[in-house]
């Protein structure tokens, strides 16, 4: 990849950027609740925004009932690539303890926009739309198509991303997950295993006759929590992600509800949340879980259990030399005036579902702490992300490239 973005492209895109509009659009999306399962209103707003701006073929793509994707395109003609800017609309539930303002105020206070989910990832969606408007308005000699995909259900089964990339072909993509505006190559995967401890039930008054499944599960939880699994990986993967594959007893479902009958439970389920580096297989993680459970069995000889694989989401990792990475590095370098480092993340992105189909780089404003009271994002970060998205998109569609 060349040393920089063609000067005429860079200059024309910068001249066309409306950074005040980017900030105002971030504030507007922060006022629309979109907790997982309730993405419909935000999808409608984004689709209306793109339609009013003159995007092509704007639609609410069906995903789940009342939870569509918001999709729009900007076409430049010619024989150029299709480049997708994408991100999710759904958020986690609202945190308790807001004090500076309200979670859905979108208030601009001391140079920051406040809003629940502003970093994950409402701001990126707004920045991407404004960036596409700037590329269109720049008049730069470009060919191909930009597509915007604001997707639902990221925090569910990633059905929004799956639906979009099943319906639309693309040559490269940018996922706007929060990376502190760093160039991110990828993320860990996620394997869920459900372990059911099997005891023997009895009335509480007959305790000697029972085997309490909660007690069995407790031994397994302690053994799983002690896991320090370090699979054999290529050194550069270890350098990026660290040596340990995280194996965590994340949730426990056991016992009887308050007010229930007097009974010692014969079943308790542990949801094991494993976060493997790219290249670590399901079988490798299952073998580590089996080792942990064998240790638990030495402490509790009565241990019986069933185990099943409940869900699989793949990790994702772009190579540093991939063209999509080079384009993003060039865009960031143009904005900051310095060479950006390459990073990875431990969370799970929608690239788990579409990364194998489309070469993708991850870049977005905001970083930890996230989903906390008084969540906010600086105007400077919003400006920078909008500039980078616009330069990346223009460079990707430029016949000269970057």
176-198 tens-digit pLDDT: 999 999 999 999 999 999 999 99
Question: What average pLDDT score do residues 59-83 get?
Answer: 97
Output phi, psi for 71, to 5 deg.
Answer: -130, 140
Radius of gyration of the chain, Cα coordinates, nearest whole angstrom? 24
Question: What average pLDDT score do residues 73-77 get?
Answer: 97
Q: How far apart, in whole angstroms, are the C-alpha atoms of residue 149 and residue 270?
A: 36
Judge whether residue 259 has pLDDT over 80.
no
Question: What average pLDDT score do residues 85-92 get?
Answer: 98
Q: How far apart, in whole angstroms, are the C-alpha atoms of residue 38 and residue 44?
A: 11
pLDDT for the residue numbered 1: 38
Place of tokens 């409306």: 18
Model confidence pLDDT, tens digit, residues 229-252? 999 999 999 999 999 999 999 999
Place of tokens 């040393």: 3
Judge whether residue 3 has pLDDT over 80.
no
pLDDT for the residue numbered 135: 98
Alpha helices (H) in 140-281, listed in sequence order: 159-167, 213-225, 235-241
Question: What average pLDDT score do residues 148-172 get?
Answer: 98
Q: How far apart, in whole angstroms, are the C-alpha atoms of residue 377 and residue 111?
A: 9
Judge whether residue 147 has pLDDT over 90.
yes
Note the pTM of the prediction, 2 decimals. 0.93
Give per-residue burial for 275-299: e unless 16+ CB within 10 Å, then b: bbbbebeeebbbebbeebbeebbee
**Of 117, 147, 148, residue with least CA distance to 46:** 148
Task: Work out the number of other CB atoms within 10 angstroms of the CB of residue 95.
Answer: 14
């Amino acid at each position: 990849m060349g040393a920089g973005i063609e000067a005429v492209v860079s200059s024309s895109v910068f001249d066309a950027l409306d950074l005040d509009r980017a900030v105002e659009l971030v504030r507007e999306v922060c006022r629309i609740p979109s907790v997982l399962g309730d993405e419909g209103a935000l999808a409608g707003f984004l689709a209306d925004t793109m339609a009013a701006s003159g995007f092509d073929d704007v639609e609410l793509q069906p995903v789940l009932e009342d939870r569509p994707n918001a999709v729009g395109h900007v076409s430049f003609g010619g024989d150029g690539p299709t480049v997708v800017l994408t991100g999710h609309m759904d958020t986690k539930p609202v945190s308790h303890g807001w004090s500076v303002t309200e979670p859905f105020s979108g208030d601009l206070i001391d140079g920051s926009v406040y809003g629940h989910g502003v970093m994950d990832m409402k701001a990126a969606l707004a920045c991407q739309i404004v960036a596409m408007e700037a590329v269109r308005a720049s008049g730069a000699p470009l060919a191909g198509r930009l597509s915007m995909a604001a997707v639902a259900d990221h925090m569910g089964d990633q059905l929004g991303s799956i639906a979009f990339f099943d319906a639309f072909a693309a040559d490269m993509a940018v996922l706007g997950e929060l990376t502190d505006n760093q160039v991110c190559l990828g993320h860990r995967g996620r394997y869920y295993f459900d372990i059911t401890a099997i005891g023997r039930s009895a009335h509480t008054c007959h305790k000697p006759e029972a085997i309490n499944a909660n007690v069995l599960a407790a031994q397994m939880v302690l053994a799983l929590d002690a896991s320090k699994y370090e699979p054999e990986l290529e050194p550069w993967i270890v350098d990026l992600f660290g040596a340990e594959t995280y194996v965590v007893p994340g949730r426990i479902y056991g016992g009887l509800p308050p007010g229930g009958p007097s009974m010692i439970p014969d079943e308790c389920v542990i949801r094991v949340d494993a976060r493997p580096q790219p290249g670590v297989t399901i079988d490798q993680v299952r073998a580590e879980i089996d080792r942990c459970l064998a240790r638990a069995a030495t402490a509790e000889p009565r241990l019986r259990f069933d185990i099943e694989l409940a869900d699989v989401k793949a990790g994702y990792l772009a190579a540093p030399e991939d063209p999509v990475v080079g384009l993003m590095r060039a865009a960031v370098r143009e904005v900051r005036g310095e060479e950006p480092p390459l990073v990875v993340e431990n969370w799970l992105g929608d690239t788990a579902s579409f990364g194998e189909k489309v070469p993708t780089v991850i870049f977005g404003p905001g970083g930890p702490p996230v989903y906390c009271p008084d969540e906010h994002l600086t105007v400077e970060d919003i400006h920078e992300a909008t500039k980078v998205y616009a330069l990346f998109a223009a460079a990707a569609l430029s016949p000269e490239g970057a």
